[in-house]
Structure 1
Amino acid sequence: MNHDTSLSSPRVLPRTPGAEPRVVTGAQLREEGLTAAQVSGRCTPRGPWQQLLPGVYLLDTGPVGGRERLRAALLYAGRPAAGRRGSRSGREGAGTDRTGTAAGTEGAAVTGVAALALHGFAAAPPVPALTHVDVLVPRTRRLRTAGFVRVVRVALLPPESSVVDGFPVVPAERAVADVVAGLDDPAAVRLLLAEAARDGHCEPAALVAELSAAKLLGRPAVARAVELLLAEGRSLAEERLYTLVRVHGLPEPVWNVDLRLPGGPHLGSVDAYWPEEAVAVELDTARAPRCAAASWPAPRGSGGRAEPEPGPAAHAVRREQLERLGVTVVRLSAEALREAAERQAGAVRTALCAARDRRPAAYVEALPR
């Protein structure tokens, strides 16, 4: 009996010399004229193809690398994009675009360790070495975890998802939170959070917000790591502010002072203050979430009670009070200091120049913190 499963169709996806192995779906192969029996006959231990996941195939017999796993995971978890059925257009390979990624699909995004690898985290293995892939899909999808793919259902995919190296991937802060959820080692949590902020993968405020949304701040290891993260983020922002003043030729302020009326109440603390111009700079850095404050160590001298940082509403009230007294408050974010220092220096310089054209402020004392 002849069991020839050779491909007699002239539309069978020729392999381009030097090209990466292609990952395709069974639906795409059927559109090329192959029957289920032909596909099955080619996915034997002797090749020439292999099945990676249900309905997803690698047109090669070699080792499966991280990029092939990513493509396969997205083809398995994603839906065909509107207007993109099959792979005949472009002939770059079934289900792939010119970068060799899982094009023509939507409704899924890479997260977890695989997303950290795509974002370039040193704590994650390099992309070619990935052995498992986590993908987010909408909760309404009927899809099971299979093989090296773990399906994570969510109500909605993150709207900020982007394309990194051709693969749809969640923002770095979301990927970190998803990885932290599965970590038990406090040192690993601390190192991952520190790398995320120190290497500029994400801002501490965004990272803390994700950890809070994932309800992870109640874990002692995470709470302690966040405390250290915020302290380091604050220190980095202060160093950027010092550099901004000196590099851009701004007058030297008095640093880290408390403002108050003579004999009156405390008006608030600022990071830099120019007394003659009555201009203050306040750093907008991540603050300790109130929901986690109870699990964090109390600061020294607090009588054993940890007092949470004032929230945005309290900052707004304080700023309004200072401006009624004639003090101009310039609020600078850590992200803006890193990415647009010259623009922030211009904002401070403008405030200092404008002080010459207004009436003198009420006398405000500036005392060391």
Structure 2
Amino acid sequence: MNHNTPIFPSPSQPSSSRPLSPRPLHHLAETHRRVLTAAQLRAHGVSAAETAERCRGGGPWQQILPGVYLLHPGPPTSEERLQAVLMYAARAPLPRPAPGVPVQPTARVPHRPAPVDAMITGLAALTLHGFSSSPALTSLKKIDVLVERVRRLRSTGCARIVRTAVLPAADMVTGLPVAPVPRALADAVAGLSDAGTVRRLLTEAVRGGYCEPAAIVRELTGARLLNRPHVVDAVDLLLAEGRALAEDRLYRMVREYGLPDPVWNVDLRLPGGPHLGSLDAYWPEQAVAVELDTRASRQDEDARWAEGARKREHLERLGITVVHITPRKLRDAMEQQAEVVRTALLAAADRDPAAYVVVLPR
């Protein structure tokens, strides 16, 4: 078979033995992805021997990963490397992206595809999600790909296999399945020893609105990364960053939705009695409090969670309504949270008066 020999037999050949495309071989790279698996090549009538011949030194094709071929000479593009890694790791064919869609930082609103069995993770995933503090795809020697733990795959070439007990739902970014930001961050941090890089990635995740601190800490905890001092330091800064952003949103909610001004950041005490707890906002006349939950679930914080629950129960027994708001609710449903607070303030007139408490600045 020469370069221009049609890869389809004559119409008289039985249909069961015909390949899938009547186009000649030289059109294959022009009309399809320029990265194909051995199985896809066979489906187009290209035998293993023909593939091997074309991948010889100086030939028009090259094998980029086991069973995955690049249908042109020269180095692969970033998009081709990503496709090759996914083709190597995935059991099922990848979804076809729109022709000519470049691989660029994107996807502030990624969509969820049908379940996949392999997805880009780590630094490459963060770059695809649009992180400015992650390296360019061209500078990455290895591309992390997340698969289930039971898969019998090995890292090779530009593909580095990352295993997990349960695959998360992937985001589709530029037509490729990509791990959600919290999971991609944990996989990236697992391979980083530079404290500054870890800090910048975690900070951008929160400051850029990609996800909430609690989701990141859950993934880092699950990956057993919170025993590394530079990761713990970065998480402490991350939580402080997340709290500052949540407080700013709370101030904006009160202002933009016309709620009466509360007293901000106060401690409550019983007259001559014990400390009742700290609150982010408090309306003394209505005995309504707002508490921002900016803590993240960490292995050493079970006691703090229990203490917080006891505080809220104590305040409610004293007749103080506690509105519990998470940063995510403030970010995604601020108007709804404002209505919750407004309803609590209006309902105060129908409740028994609350116990008298002393309000002190925090």
TM range (shorter): 0.7 to 0.9
Return the letter of the residue paired with 1:213. Answer: G
The DSSP-based 3-state class of the residue aligned with 1:189 is helix
Q: Note if contact 1:258-1:269 (Cα within 8 Å) is conserved in structure 2.
A: yes
The amino acid that maps onto 2:249 is: R
Mapping 1:298-317, distance limit 5 Å: 311-317=304-310
CA positional deviation for 1:105: 9.4
Do structure 1's residue 174 and structure 2's residue 183 form an aligned pair? yes
- Match for 1:317: what amino acid? R
1:132 to 126, 142, 147: 142
Task: Report the number of matched residues.
Answer: 335
Verify the 8 A CA contact 2:214 2:297 in the aligned structure 1.
no
Aligned match of 2:162 in 127, 145, 152? 152
The alignment-based identity, stated in percent, is 55
- Tell me if 1:336 matches 2:329: yes
1:109 to 119, 122, 132: 119
Give the direction of change, closer, same or farther, for the CA distance of 1:329–1:254 in structure 2 (3 Å limit): same
Match of 2:357 among 340, 350, 364: 364
Q: Is the 8 Å Cα contact of residues 74 and 105 (structure 1) preserved in structure 2?
A: no
Q: CA deviation at 1:26?
A: 0.4
Q: Are residue 271 (structure 1) and residue 280 (structure 2) matched?
A: yes
Q: Which of the residues 239, 256, 260 maps onto 2:265?
A: 256
CA distance in 2, matches of 1:348, 1:109: 41
The aligned counterpart of 2:6 is 8
**Aligned pairs for 1:1-369 within 5 A:** 4=2, 7-10=5-8, 11=21, 12=23, 14-15=27-28, 21-80=33-92, 97-99=96-98, 106-127=116-137, 130-158=140-168, 160-287=169-296, 289-291=298-300, 311-369=304-362
Q: Is the 8 A contact 1:227 1:288 kept in 2?
A: no
Cα drift, residue 126 of structure 1: 3.9
Following the alignment from structure 1 to structure 2, what is the Cα–Cα distance between the partners of residues 42 and 215? 46
Measured in 1, the distance between the counterparts of 2:242 and 2:97 equals 39
Structure 1 alignment gaps of length 5 or more: 82-94, 292-307
User: CA separation in 2, counterparts of 1:136 and 1:361?
Assistant: 54
- What is the aligned partner in structure 2 of residue 92 from structure 1? none
1:339 & 1:154 partners in 2: Cα distance?
29
8 Å contact from structure 1 (residues 96, 104) kept in 2: no
Deviation for aligned residue 1:284: 0.9
Alpha-carbon offset, residue 351 of structure 1: 0.7
Q: Match of 2:135, as an amino acid?
A: P
8 Å contact 2:35–2:69 — kept in the other structure? yes
Listed one character per residue, the Cα deviations across residues 6-41 of structure 1 (whole Å, up to 9, x for unaligned) are 543133573586x78521110111122221111111
Alpha-carbon deviations, 1:84-120, whole Å to 9, x = none?
xxxxxxxxxxx6524269x999411111111111111
For residues 207 and 303 of structure 2, the distance between their equivalents in structure 1, rounded to whole angstroms, comes to: 25
Secondary structure of residue in 1 paired with 2:224: coil
Q: Please give the secondary structure, in 2, of the residue aligned with 1:256.
A: strand
C-alpha distance 179-321 of structure 1, shift in aligned 2 (>3 A):
same
Task: Return the TM-score normalized by structure 2.
Answer: 0.85
Matched residue of 2:235: which SS?
helix
Runs of 4+ in 1 over 6 A off after TM superposition: none
CA–CA separation in structure 1 for the residues paired with 2:156 and 2:127: 21
Shift of 1:212: 1.3
Alpha-carbon distance in structure 2 between the residues aligned to 1:98 and 1:309: 45
Query: What's the Cα RMSD here?
Result: 2.5
Question: Which shifted more, 324-333 or 163-172?
Answer: 163-172
- Amino acid paired to 2:329: A
The residue matched to 1:355 in structure 2 has which SS? helix
Letter of the 1:37 counterpart? A
Distance 1:73 1:7 in 2: 30
* Residues 109 and 169, structure 1, Cα contact 8 Å, conserved in 2: yes
Structure 1 residue 173, shift from structure 2 partner? 1.1
1:310/1:276 CA distance change after superposition, 3 Å: farther
CA distance, structure 1, for counterparts of residue 161 and residue 45 of structure 2 = 31
Q: Separation in 2 of the partners of 1:72 and 1:109?
A: 12
Gaps of 5+ in 2: 9-20, 102-112
Find the aligned partners of 2:233 and 2:297 in 1 and give their Cα distance: 11
* TM-score after normalising by structure 1: 0.84
Describe the superposition over 1:295-339 as per-residue Cα deviations: whole angstroms up to 9, x where unpaired: xxxxxxxxxxxxx69533332222122112111101111112122
TM-fit CA distance, 1:129 = 5.9
